[in-house]
Amino acid sequence: MIREIHAIGLDIGTSKVRCVVGEPSESGKMNIVGIGEAESRGLRRGIVTGAAAVSEAVRKAVGEAERVSGLGIRSAVVNLSGEHFRGENKNGVVAVAGAGREISEEDVERAIESASAMQLPSGWEIINRLPQEFIIDGQDGITEPVGMIGARLESLVHIVIGPSAGRQNLDKAVHRAGLEVERMMLEPLAAAESTLTDDDKEYGCALVNIGAEITSMMIFGRGAVQHTAVFPFGGLHFTKDIAVGLRVSIQEANQIKHRYGCVGSFMMNDDEKQEMIEIMPVGRTETRGLTKEILCDIMQPRAIELLQHIARETTGTQAQISSGVILTGGGAVARGMVEIAEQVFDAPTRLGYLESEYFGGLAAEVRGPEWAVSCGLALSSMRSQIREINMNGKSSTRKVAEWFEKFRDKFR
Protein backbone atom coordinates (compact mmCIF):
# COMPACT_ATOMS: atom_id res chain seq x y z
CA MET A 1 0.00 0.00 0.00
CA ILE A 2 2.77 2.45 0.94
CA ARG A 3 4.40 2.03 -2.46
CA GLU A 4 1.20 3.14 -4.16
CA ILE A 5 1.36 6.55 -2.52
CA HIS A 6 2.20 9.46 -4.78
CA ALA A 7 2.40 12.89 -3.18
CA ILE A 8 2.15 16.01 -5.31
CA GLY A 9 2.92 19.53 -4.15
CA LEU A 10 1.89 22.45 -6.37
CA ASP A 11 3.31 25.87 -5.49
CA ILE A 12 1.51 28.54 -7.54
CA GLY A 13 3.49 31.73 -7.07
CA THR A 14 3.42 35.17 -8.64
CA SER A 15 6.58 34.59 -10.68
CA LYS A 16 6.89 30.77 -10.87
CA VAL A 17 4.72 27.67 -10.66
CA ARG A 18 6.59 24.69 -9.21
CA CYS A 19 5.39 21.08 -9.02
CA VAL A 20 7.05 18.31 -7.00
CA VAL A 21 6.17 14.60 -7.14
CA GLY A 22 7.25 12.39 -4.25
CA GLU A 23 6.82 8.84 -3.01
CA PRO A 24 7.74 7.21 0.30
CA SER A 25 10.98 5.23 0.62
CA GLU A 26 11.75 2.29 2.89
CA SER A 27 13.83 4.59 5.11
CA GLY A 28 10.87 6.87 5.77
CA LYS A 29 12.12 9.71 3.58
CA MET A 30 10.18 11.12 0.66
CA ASN A 31 11.94 10.33 -2.60
CA ILE A 32 11.42 13.18 -5.06
CA VAL A 33 10.75 11.50 -8.42
CA GLY A 34 9.45 14.41 -10.48
CA ILE A 35 9.86 18.17 -10.69
CA GLY A 36 8.39 20.81 -12.97
CA GLU A 37 8.66 24.57 -13.23
CA ALA A 38 6.97 27.20 -15.40
CA GLU A 39 6.73 30.98 -15.63
CA SER A 40 3.67 32.14 -13.73
CA ARG A 41 1.00 34.42 -15.15
CA GLY A 42 -2.36 35.64 -13.91
CA LEU A 43 -1.54 36.24 -10.24
CA ARG A 44 -0.94 39.42 -8.29
CA ARG A 45 0.08 39.29 -4.63
CA GLY A 46 -1.14 35.72 -4.41
CA ILE A 47 -4.59 36.52 -5.81
CA VAL A 48 -5.86 35.15 -9.13
CA THR A 49 -6.34 37.96 -11.66
CA GLY A 50 -6.55 35.74 -14.76
CA ALA A 51 -7.79 32.18 -14.28
CA ALA A 52 -6.91 31.04 -17.83
CA ALA A 53 -3.31 32.24 -17.50
CA VAL A 54 -2.92 30.52 -14.11
CA SER A 55 -4.34 27.27 -15.50
CA GLU A 56 -1.94 27.34 -18.45
CA ALA A 57 1.08 27.86 -16.16
CA VAL A 58 -0.11 25.01 -13.92
CA ARG A 59 -0.50 22.71 -16.93
CA LYS A 60 3.07 23.46 -18.06
CA ALA A 61 4.64 22.83 -14.64
CA VAL A 62 2.58 19.68 -14.03
CA GLY A 63 3.30 18.41 -17.55
CA GLU A 64 7.03 18.73 -16.96
CA ALA A 65 6.75 16.93 -13.62
CA GLU A 66 4.78 14.14 -15.32
CA ARG A 67 7.49 13.70 -17.97
CA VAL A 68 10.24 13.51 -15.36
CA SER A 69 8.37 11.12 -13.06
CA GLY A 70 6.55 9.05 -15.70
CA LEU A 71 3.36 9.36 -13.63
CA GLY A 72 -0.01 10.87 -14.39
CA ILE A 73 -0.94 13.64 -11.96
CA ARG A 74 -4.59 13.97 -11.02
CA SER A 75 -4.57 15.85 -7.72
CA ALA A 76 -2.21 17.97 -5.63
CA VAL A 77 -1.83 19.82 -2.36
CA VAL A 78 -1.81 23.50 -3.35
CA ASN A 79 -0.27 26.51 -1.60
CA LEU A 80 -2.46 29.29 -0.28
CA SER A 81 -1.24 32.87 -0.03
CA GLY A 82 -2.59 36.39 0.04
CA GLU A 83 -1.73 39.73 1.56
CA HIS A 84 -4.90 39.91 3.69
CA PHE A 85 -4.37 36.76 5.79
CA ARG A 86 -4.38 37.40 9.53
CA GLY A 87 -3.42 35.18 12.44
CA GLU A 88 -4.96 35.39 15.92
CA ASN A 89 -4.47 33.37 19.10
CA LYS A 90 -7.78 32.33 20.67
CA ASN A 91 -8.87 30.11 23.54
CA GLY A 92 -11.97 28.06 24.20
CA VAL A 93 -13.27 26.21 27.27
CA VAL A 94 -15.64 23.24 27.56
CA ALA A 95 -16.81 21.02 30.39
CA VAL A 96 -15.92 17.33 30.17
CA ALA A 97 -18.88 15.02 30.62
CA GLY A 98 -19.21 11.26 30.41
CA ALA A 99 -18.09 8.29 32.48
CA GLY A 100 -15.02 8.97 34.58
CA ARG A 101 -14.64 12.40 32.92
CA GLU A 102 -12.29 10.90 30.33
CA ILE A 103 -11.56 13.37 27.54
CA SER A 104 -12.78 12.14 24.16
CA GLU A 105 -12.18 13.19 20.58
CA GLU A 106 -15.51 15.01 20.66
CA ASP A 107 -14.44 17.03 23.73
CA VAL A 108 -11.29 18.16 21.93
CA GLU A 109 -13.24 19.12 18.83
CA ARG A 110 -15.73 21.06 20.97
CA ALA A 111 -12.87 22.91 22.69
CA ILE A 112 -11.35 23.90 19.36
CA GLU A 113 -14.76 24.90 17.99
CA SER A 114 -15.23 27.05 21.09
CA ALA A 115 -11.94 28.83 20.39
CA SER A 116 -12.94 29.28 16.75
CA ALA A 117 -16.21 31.07 17.59
CA MET A 118 -15.33 34.56 16.37
CA GLN A 119 -16.91 37.37 14.41
CA LEU A 120 -15.58 37.38 10.84
CA PRO A 121 -15.66 40.27 8.34
CA SER A 122 -18.11 39.79 5.49
CA GLY A 123 -16.73 37.38 2.87
CA TRP A 124 -13.99 36.08 5.16
CA GLU A 125 -13.50 32.55 6.48
CA ILE A 126 -11.26 30.57 8.81
CA ILE A 127 -8.37 29.29 6.70
CA ASN A 128 -6.55 27.28 9.37
CA ARG A 129 -7.10 26.21 12.97
CA LEU A 130 -3.75 25.23 14.47
CA PRO A 131 -3.93 23.85 18.04
CA GLN A 132 -1.11 25.14 20.24
CA GLU A 133 -1.77 23.36 23.53
CA PHE A 134 -4.51 22.25 25.91
CA ILE A 135 -5.12 22.99 29.59
CA ILE A 136 -6.83 20.36 31.74
CA ASP A 137 -8.06 21.59 35.13
CA GLY A 138 -5.37 24.25 35.19
CA GLN A 139 -2.52 21.99 34.02
CA ASP A 140 -1.08 23.51 30.85
CA GLY A 141 1.35 22.35 28.16
CA ILE A 142 -0.71 19.29 27.17
CA THR A 143 -0.58 18.40 23.46
CA GLU A 144 -2.55 15.12 23.35
CA PRO A 145 -5.49 15.31 25.76
CA VAL A 146 -7.54 12.39 24.38
CA GLY A 147 -7.84 9.70 27.05
CA MET A 148 -6.81 11.96 29.96
CA ILE A 149 -9.06 12.65 32.97
CA GLY A 150 -10.40 16.12 33.80
CA ALA A 151 -13.48 18.24 34.32
CA ARG A 152 -12.46 21.36 32.41
CA LEU A 153 -10.73 21.39 29.02
CA GLU A 154 -9.30 24.60 27.61
CA SER A 155 -7.80 24.88 24.13
CA LEU A 156 -5.31 27.45 22.88
CA VAL A 157 -5.58 27.70 19.10
CA HIS A 158 -3.87 29.83 16.45
CA ILE A 159 -6.51 30.78 13.91
CA VAL A 160 -5.70 32.15 10.45
CA ILE A 161 -8.48 34.00 8.65
CA GLY A 162 -8.71 35.50 5.17
CA PRO A 163 -11.06 36.32 2.28
CA SER A 164 -12.80 33.23 0.93
CA ALA A 165 -12.85 34.49 -2.68
CA GLY A 166 -9.08 34.14 -3.06
CA ARG A 167 -9.17 30.46 -2.12
CA GLN A 168 -12.21 29.75 -4.29
CA ASN A 169 -10.73 31.42 -7.39
CA LEU A 170 -7.44 29.54 -7.00
CA ASP A 171 -9.39 26.29 -6.58
CA LYS A 172 -11.28 26.98 -9.83
CA ALA A 173 -8.08 27.81 -11.73
CA VAL A 174 -6.51 24.50 -10.65
CA HIS A 175 -9.64 22.57 -11.63
CA ARG A 176 -9.56 24.30 -14.99
CA ALA A 177 -6.07 22.86 -15.47
CA GLY A 178 -7.53 19.35 -15.04
CA LEU A 179 -6.44 18.74 -11.44
CA GLU A 180 -8.27 18.04 -8.21
CA VAL A 181 -7.23 20.03 -5.13
CA GLU A 182 -6.41 17.52 -2.40
CA ARG A 183 -6.34 20.42 0.07
CA MET A 184 -4.79 23.85 0.44
CA MET A 185 -1.98 24.74 2.80
CA LEU A 186 -0.61 28.09 3.89
CA GLU A 187 2.71 28.92 2.22
CA PRO A 188 4.83 29.46 5.35
CA LEU A 189 3.37 26.32 6.92
CA ALA A 190 4.42 24.30 3.86
CA ALA A 191 7.90 25.86 3.87
CA ALA A 192 8.23 24.97 7.56
CA GLU A 193 7.27 21.35 6.81
CA SER A 194 10.30 20.87 4.54
CA THR A 195 12.95 23.03 6.24
CA LEU A 196 12.37 23.01 10.01
CA THR A 197 13.15 20.31 12.54
CA ASP A 198 11.03 19.50 15.58
CA ASP A 199 13.67 21.23 17.72
CA ASP A 200 13.36 24.43 15.66
CA LYS A 201 9.62 24.49 16.32
CA GLU A 202 10.01 23.56 19.98
CA TYR A 203 12.65 26.11 20.97
CA GLY A 204 11.30 28.91 18.80
CA CYS A 205 12.09 30.29 15.35
CA ALA A 206 10.75 32.65 12.72
CA LEU A 207 10.25 31.30 9.21
CA VAL A 208 10.21 34.09 6.61
CA ASN A 209 9.09 33.11 3.10
CA ILE A 210 10.04 35.85 0.61
CA GLY A 211 8.11 35.51 -2.62
CA ALA A 212 7.93 37.84 -5.61
CA GLU A 213 5.22 40.17 -4.29
CA ILE A 214 4.36 38.75 -0.86
CA THR A 215 6.45 37.90 2.17
CA SER A 216 4.84 35.69 4.81
CA MET A 217 6.14 34.92 8.27
CA MET A 218 5.29 32.32 10.88
CA ILE A 219 6.75 32.24 14.36
CA PHE A 220 6.96 28.83 16.01
CA GLY A 221 7.40 28.04 19.69
CA ARG A 222 6.64 25.11 21.99
CA GLY A 223 6.10 22.97 18.89
CA ALA A 224 3.25 25.06 17.45
CA VAL A 225 2.51 28.21 15.44
CA GLN A 226 2.44 31.27 17.68
CA HIS A 227 2.13 34.11 15.18
CA THR A 228 1.37 34.69 11.48
CA ALA A 229 1.95 37.83 9.44
CA VAL A 230 1.88 38.71 5.74
CA PHE A 231 3.64 41.68 4.14
CA PRO A 232 2.80 43.17 0.70
CA PHE A 233 6.36 43.16 -0.65
CA GLY A 234 8.93 40.72 -1.97
CA GLY A 235 11.72 40.12 -4.47
CA LEU A 236 9.97 42.08 -7.20
CA HIS A 237 10.79 45.28 -5.30
CA PHE A 238 14.49 44.70 -6.04
CA THR A 239 13.71 44.17 -9.72
CA LYS A 240 11.71 47.41 -9.94
CA ASP A 241 14.45 49.36 -8.13
CA ILE A 242 17.04 48.10 -10.61
CA ALA A 243 14.78 48.88 -13.57
CA VAL A 244 14.21 52.46 -12.39
CA GLY A 245 17.77 53.06 -11.18
CA LEU A 246 19.49 51.73 -14.31
CA ARG A 247 16.70 52.62 -16.77
CA VAL A 248 16.44 49.10 -18.12
CA SER A 249 13.43 46.88 -18.83
CA ILE A 250 11.88 44.75 -16.08
CA GLN A 251 13.04 41.60 -17.90
CA GLU A 252 16.65 42.79 -18.05
CA ALA A 253 16.50 44.06 -14.47
CA ASN A 254 15.40 40.59 -13.36
CA GLN A 255 18.31 38.97 -15.20
CA ILE A 256 20.79 41.45 -13.71
CA LYS A 257 19.40 40.76 -10.22
CA HIS A 258 19.76 36.99 -10.56
CA ARG A 259 23.17 37.10 -12.24
CA TYR A 260 24.99 39.84 -10.34
CA GLY A 261 22.73 40.85 -7.44
CA CYS A 262 24.25 41.40 -4.00
CA VAL A 263 22.60 43.17 -1.06
CA GLY A 264 25.72 43.43 1.12
CA SER A 265 28.66 45.55 -0.06
CA PHE A 266 30.77 44.00 2.71
CA MET A 267 30.53 40.69 0.83
CA MET A 268 32.63 42.04 -2.07
CA ASN A 269 36.33 42.88 -2.17
CA ASP A 270 37.62 46.01 -3.90
CA ASP A 271 38.32 44.24 -7.19
CA GLU A 272 34.83 42.77 -7.38
CA LYS A 273 33.25 46.12 -6.57
CA GLN A 274 34.88 47.59 -9.66
CA GLU A 275 33.89 44.75 -12.00
CA MET A 276 31.85 46.06 -14.91
CA ILE A 277 28.38 44.90 -15.96
CA GLU A 278 27.09 45.57 -19.48
CA ILE A 279 23.50 46.79 -19.59
CA MET A 280 21.14 47.92 -22.36
CA PRO A 281 19.05 50.97 -21.29
CA VAL A 282 15.51 51.17 -22.62
CA GLY A 283 15.35 53.02 -25.95
CA ARG A 284 19.10 52.80 -26.56
CA THR A 285 20.91 50.79 -29.22
CA GLU A 286 24.29 50.67 -27.49
CA THR A 287 25.21 49.10 -24.17
CA ARG A 288 26.80 50.92 -21.29
CA GLY A 289 28.74 49.69 -18.30
CA LEU A 290 28.30 50.04 -14.56
CA THR A 291 30.15 48.58 -11.61
CA LYS A 292 28.83 45.87 -9.31
CA GLU A 293 29.20 48.37 -6.46
CA ILE A 294 26.55 50.63 -8.02
CA LEU A 295 24.16 47.68 -8.36
CA CYS A 296 24.74 46.77 -4.71
CA ASP A 297 24.09 50.40 -3.69
CA ILE A 298 20.65 50.09 -5.31
CA MET A 299 19.74 46.74 -3.73
CA GLN A 300 21.19 47.02 -0.21
CA PRO A 301 18.96 49.83 1.16
CA ARG A 302 15.86 48.02 -0.05
CA ALA A 303 16.94 44.74 1.61
CA ILE A 304 17.53 46.55 4.91
CA GLU A 305 14.18 48.33 4.69
CA LEU A 306 12.18 45.17 3.98
CA LEU A 307 13.92 43.11 6.66
CA GLN A 308 13.53 45.87 9.25
CA HIS A 309 9.79 45.91 8.55
CA ILE A 310 9.60 42.15 9.24
CA ALA A 311 11.86 42.43 12.31
CA ARG A 312 9.56 45.05 13.86
CA GLU A 313 6.69 42.56 13.59
CA THR A 314 8.83 39.90 15.28
CA THR A 315 9.81 42.26 18.10
CA GLY A 316 6.18 43.24 18.63
CA THR A 317 5.20 39.64 19.39
CA GLN A 318 7.88 39.35 22.12
CA ALA A 319 8.41 35.78 20.90
CA GLN A 320 11.55 33.82 21.77
CA ILE A 321 13.31 32.71 18.58
CA SER A 322 16.24 30.76 20.05
CA SER A 323 16.61 28.73 16.83
CA GLY A 324 16.82 31.95 14.84
CA VAL A 325 15.39 33.08 11.53
CA ILE A 326 15.00 30.81 8.50
CA LEU A 327 14.66 32.47 5.08
CA THR A 328 12.86 30.63 2.27
CA GLY A 329 11.44 31.60 -1.11
CA GLY A 330 13.06 32.94 -4.27
CA GLY A 331 13.56 36.39 -2.76
CA ALA A 332 15.83 34.97 -0.06
CA VAL A 333 18.61 33.75 -2.34
CA ALA A 334 20.15 37.14 -3.12
CA ARG A 335 23.78 37.18 -2.03
CA GLY A 336 24.19 38.81 1.38
CA MET A 337 20.54 38.46 2.41
CA VAL A 338 21.34 36.09 5.28
CA GLU A 339 24.13 38.32 6.60
CA ILE A 340 21.96 41.46 6.45
CA ALA A 341 19.05 39.62 8.12
CA GLU A 342 21.31 38.40 10.91
CA GLN A 343 22.22 42.00 11.72
CA VAL A 344 18.67 43.33 11.42
CA PHE A 345 17.02 40.54 13.46
CA ASP A 346 19.97 40.25 15.86
CA ALA A 347 19.42 36.48 15.74
CA PRO A 348 21.04 33.46 14.05
CA THR A 349 19.86 33.38 10.43
CA ARG A 350 20.12 30.74 7.72
CA LEU A 351 18.65 29.89 4.35
CA GLY A 352 15.89 27.28 4.48
CA TYR A 353 17.33 24.33 2.58
CA LEU A 354 15.46 21.03 2.48
CA GLU A 355 16.08 18.91 5.59
CA SER A 356 18.19 15.95 4.40
CA GLU A 357 16.49 13.58 6.86
CA TYR A 358 13.14 14.18 5.12
CA PHE A 359 14.06 13.92 1.42
CA GLY A 360 15.80 11.61 -1.06
CA GLY A 361 15.69 10.94 -4.80
CA LEU A 362 16.05 14.15 -6.80
CA ALA A 363 16.32 16.26 -3.62
CA ALA A 364 19.68 17.69 -4.70
CA GLU A 365 17.97 19.23 -7.74
CA VAL A 366 15.47 21.17 -5.64
CA ARG A 367 17.43 21.84 -2.48
CA GLY A 368 17.25 25.64 -2.79
CA PRO A 369 14.99 27.85 -0.64
CA GLU A 370 12.78 28.62 -3.65
CA TRP A 371 11.59 24.97 -3.65
CA ALA A 372 10.80 24.87 0.09
CA VAL A 373 7.06 25.44 -0.34
CA SER A 374 6.44 22.91 -3.15
CA CYS A 375 8.49 20.22 -1.39
CA GLY A 376 6.72 20.93 1.90
CA LEU A 377 3.33 20.57 0.22
CA ALA A 378 4.31 17.17 -1.22
CA LEU A 379 5.81 16.01 2.09
CA SER A 380 2.64 16.99 3.94
CA SER A 381 0.56 15.05 1.41
CA MET A 382 2.73 11.93 1.80
CA ARG A 383 2.60 12.02 5.59
CA SER A 384 -1.15 12.50 5.54
CA GLN A 385 -1.68 9.55 3.18
CA ILE A 386 0.58 7.25 5.23
CA ARG A 387 -1.26 8.21 8.42
CA GLU A 388 -4.59 7.44 6.79
CA ILE A 389 -3.40 4.00 5.69
CA ASN A 390 -1.99 3.25 9.14
CA MET A 391 -5.16 4.42 10.87
CA ASN A 392 -7.32 2.14 8.70
CA GLY A 393 -5.22 -0.84 9.72
CA LYS A 394 -5.05 -0.14 13.48
CA SER A 395 -7.14 -1.46 16.30
CA SER A 396 -9.71 0.89 17.79
CA THR A 397 -7.52 1.67 20.82
CA ARG A 398 -4.54 2.56 18.63
CA LYS A 399 -6.83 4.70 16.49
CA VAL A 400 -7.78 6.79 19.51
CA ALA A 401 -4.14 7.15 20.50
CA GLU A 402 -3.16 8.36 17.04
CA TRP A 403 -6.29 10.37 16.32
CA PHE A 404 -4.93 13.64 17.65
CA GLU A 405 -1.93 13.72 15.30
CA LYS A 406 -4.25 13.24 12.35
CA PHE A 407 -6.60 15.87 13.75
CA ARG A 408 -3.78 18.45 13.92
CA ASP A 409 -2.66 17.57 10.40
CA LYS A 410 -6.00 18.30 8.77
CA PHE A 411 -5.75 21.92 9.90
CA ARG A 412 -2.27 22.37 8.38
Report how many domains make up the chain. Answer: 2
Residues 112 and 223 in one domain: no
Residues 137 and 269 in one domain: no
Asked if the structure places residue 171 within a domain, the reply is no
Parent domain of 212 = 197-352
16-71 pLDDT tens trace: 999 999 999 988 899 999 999 999 999 998 899 999 999 999 999 999 999 999 99
Q: Residue 79: how many CB atoms within 10 A of its CB?
A: 28
Boundary (domain end) residue, out of 352, 374, 397: 352
**Residue 368 burial (C-beta neighbours within 10 Å; 0-12, 13-18, 19+):** middle
372-400 pLDDT tens trace: 999 999 999 999 999 888 877 654 444 44
Question: φ and ψ at 135, to 5 degrees?
Answer: -120, 120
Residues 241 and 156 in one domain: no
Among 253-257, 260-264, 270-274, 395-399, the range scoring the smallest mean pLDDT is: 395-399
Residues 244 and 326 in one domain: yes
* Domain at 215, CATH number: 3.30.420.40
297-318 pLDDT tens trace: 999 999 999 999 999 999 988 8
Q: 98, 100, 107, 159: which is closest to 134 by C-alpha?
A: 107
Give the distance from CA 361 to its chain's centroid: 22
Alpha helices in 231-336 (DSSP H): 236-246, 250-260, 270-273, 292-317
Residues 153 and 202 in one domain: no
Asked if the structure places residue 61 within a domain, the reply is no
* Domain at 124, CATH number: 3.30.1490.110
| Mean pLDDT, residues 246-259 | 95
Largest CA distance in the chain: 85
Q: 5, 12, 11: which is closest to 31 by C-alpha?
A: 5
Asked if the structure places residue 76 within a domain, the reply is no
Asked if the structure places residue 395 within a domain, the reply is no
Residues 213 and 147 in one domain: no
Residues 224 and 327 in one domain: yes
Q: With 0.75 as the threshold, say if the pTM is over it.
A: yes
Rg (CA), the chain: 23
